[in-house]
């Protein structure tokens, strides 16, 4: 008995076939979001059909599907309310996919599903209260509270990247200024370095290497990125009493040269209490699709409706 899973992102769609908790197949396709929302919907369906065919080749007809998407989602309604990078507005994803596949479908938010996967299979195991914080082009958080993903009143919880840590600071894509994301995301690091030096086309990783090699501008921007992220994580910890912080996304790949200063900066800010353990994520870019598979399995097991 298998489930198929889809993690639909702005650049890639990641798919998985999971049977009895074992990953049978993992695949990745281009989203080609520039072709418009309807074309993306068509592509998602083709990917789902391909995953189903692969499951059948394993002799394991899928019993359910899981799909997770970015942006603002209503998990109870099964709708993508606003996914800017897919062009989707008020799209009833769960209903649509269930009708087309003739399967029960579980629906969720990509980062929260990634948090569920890290919680059960990865760096969050054995921990009931933690934040999974992928740091990449943007920054978000999945909050696992009391062992369960916390979606908030409207399903918008976890917009950690838009916590203001530098009032009147750098402009952010959300329209506000001084957000964590405007300093600490990979794209912010690249953008800020280019703005000061005029050198475009360098990635956050390149800029980290520049800093290591004595480039003072690069060093300052990296340090600010770490400090702003630590400011946000300290506030989150003060409010939620987190036991662990799991850092994922592209920047976590930098490993200890990134995580050790972040750990120190977080500890410095939490003057009145022990800081949470700060650890790298374990599932990498597969966290979302594995989370989608877990949601689909939960649906079959009657753990969610």
179: contact with Zn ion by CB under 5 A: yes
Q: Which stretch binds Zn ion (CB under 5 A): 114-122, 179-187, 196-204, 214-222?
A: 179-187
Residue number, 172 or 279, with CB nearest to Zn ion: 172
Give yes or no for a contact between 276 and 128, defined as CB atoms under 8 angstroms apart. no
Q: What is the rounded distance in angstroms from the CA atom of residue 276 to the CA atom of residue 293? A: 29
Q: Write down the least CB distance from residue 262 to Zn ion, Å.
A: 20
* Among 243, 51, 245, 23, CA closest to 128: 243
- CA terminus-to-terminus distance, the chain: 19
Q: Which stretch binds Zn ion (CB under 5 A): 68-76, 149-157, 178-186, 194-202?
A: 178-186
Residue number, 177 or 220, with CB nearest to Zn ion: 177
* Among 161, 186, 192, CA closest to 250: 186
176: contact with Zn ion by CB under 5 A: yes
Secondary structure of 138-193 in the HEC alphabet?
A: CECCEEEECCEECCCCCCCCCCHHHCECCCCCCECCCCCECECHHHHCHHHHHHHH
Task: Report the residue from 56, 174, 195, 196 that binds Zn ion according to the rule CB under 5 A.
Answer: 174
Q: Write down the least CB distance from residue 294 to Zn ion, Å.
A: 29
Q: Write down the least CB distance from residue 176 to Zn ion, Å.
A: 5
CB atoms inside a 10 Å sphere around CB 100? 15
Binding mask 110-149 for Zn ion (x = CB under 5 A): ----------------------------------------
Give yes or no for a contact between 8 and 86, defined as CB atoms under 8 angstroms apart. yes
Q: What is the rounded distance in angstroms from the CA atom of residue 15 to the CA atom of residue 66? A: 10
Q: What is the rounded distance in angstroms from the CA atom of residue 160 to the CA atom of residue 210? A: 28
Q: Which stretch binds Zn ion (CB under 5 A): 77-85, 86-94, 132-140, 160-168?
A: 160-168
Residue number, 176 or 282, with CB nearest to Zn ion: 176
Residue number, 118 or 159, with CB nearest to Zn ion: 159
Give how far the C-alpha of residue 175 lies from the chain's centroid of Cα atoms, to the nearest Å. 21
Residue number, 14 or 162, with CB nearest to Zn ion: 162
Task: Report the residue from 14, 94, 162, 192 that binds Zn ion according to the rule CB under 5 A.
Answer: 162
Q: What is the rounded distance in angstroms from the CA atom of residue 172 to the CA atom of residue 304? A: 36
Q: Write down the least CB distance from residue 172 to Zn ion, Å.
A: 3
Q: What is the rounded distance in angstroms from the CA atom of residue 25 to the CA atom of residue 20? A: 13
Q: Write down the least CB distance from residue 166 to Zn ion, Å.
A: 11
Residue number, 41 or 228, with CB nearest to Zn ion: 228
> In the window 73-112, what residues touch Zn ion (CB under 5 A)?
none
Residue number, 184 or 247, with CB nearest to Zn ion: 184
Residue number, 65 or 228, with CB nearest to Zn ion: 228
Q: Which stretch binds Zn ion (CB under 5 A): 13-21, 27-35, 172-180, 271-279?
A: 172-180
Give yes or no for a contact between 146 and 240, defined as CB atoms under 8 angstroms apart. no
Q: Binders of Zn ion: how many residues, by CB under 5 A?
A: 5
236: contact with Zn ion by CB under 5 A: no
The answer for residues whose C-beta is within 8 angstroms of residue 284's C-beta and 6 or more apart is 248
172: contact with Zn ion by CB under 5 A: yes
List, in sequence order, every residue forming a beta bridge with 143; answer none if it has no partner.
131
Q: Which residues bind to Zn ion, rule: CB under 5 A?
A: 162, 172, 174, 176, 179
């Amino acid at each position: 008995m298998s489930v198929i899973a889809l993690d639909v992102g702005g650049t890639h769609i990641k798919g998985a076939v999971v049977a009895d908790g074992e990953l049978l197949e993992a695949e990745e396709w281009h989203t080609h979001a520039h072709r418009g929302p309807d074309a993306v919907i068509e592509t998602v369906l083709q990917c789902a059909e391909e995953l189903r065919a692969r499951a059948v080749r394993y002799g394991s007809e899928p019993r359910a599907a899981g799909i997770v998407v970015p942006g603002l989602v209503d998990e109870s309604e099964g709708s993508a309310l606003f996914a800017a990078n897919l062009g989707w507005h008020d799209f009833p994803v769960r209903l649509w996919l269930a009708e087309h596949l003739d399967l029960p479908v579980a629906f969720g938010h990509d980062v929260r599903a990634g948090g569920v996967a890290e919680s059960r299979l990865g760096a969050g195991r054995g921990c009931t209260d933690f934040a999974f914080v992928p740091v990449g082009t943007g920054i978000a958080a999945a909050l696992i509270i009391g062992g369960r993903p916390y979606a908030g009143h409207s399903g918008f919880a976890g917009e950690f990247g838009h916590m203001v840590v530098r009032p009147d600071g750098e402009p952010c894509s959300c329209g506000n200024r001084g957000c964590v994301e405007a300093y600490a995301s990979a794209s912010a690091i690249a953008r800020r370095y280019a703005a000061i030096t005029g050198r475009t086309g360098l990635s956050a990783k390149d800029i980290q290497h520049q800093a290591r090699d004595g480039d003072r501008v690069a060093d300052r921007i990296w340090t600010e990125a770490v400090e702003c992220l630590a400011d946000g994580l300290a506030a989150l910890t003060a409010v939620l009493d987190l036991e662990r912080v799991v850092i994922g996304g592209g920047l976590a790949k930098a490993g200890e040269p990134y995580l050790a200063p972040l750990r120190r900066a977080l500890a410095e800010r939490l003057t009145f209490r022990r800081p949470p353990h700060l650890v790298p994520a374990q599932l990498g870019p597969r966290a979302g699709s594995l989370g989608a598979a877990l949601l689909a399995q939960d649906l079959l097991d009657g753990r969610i409706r």
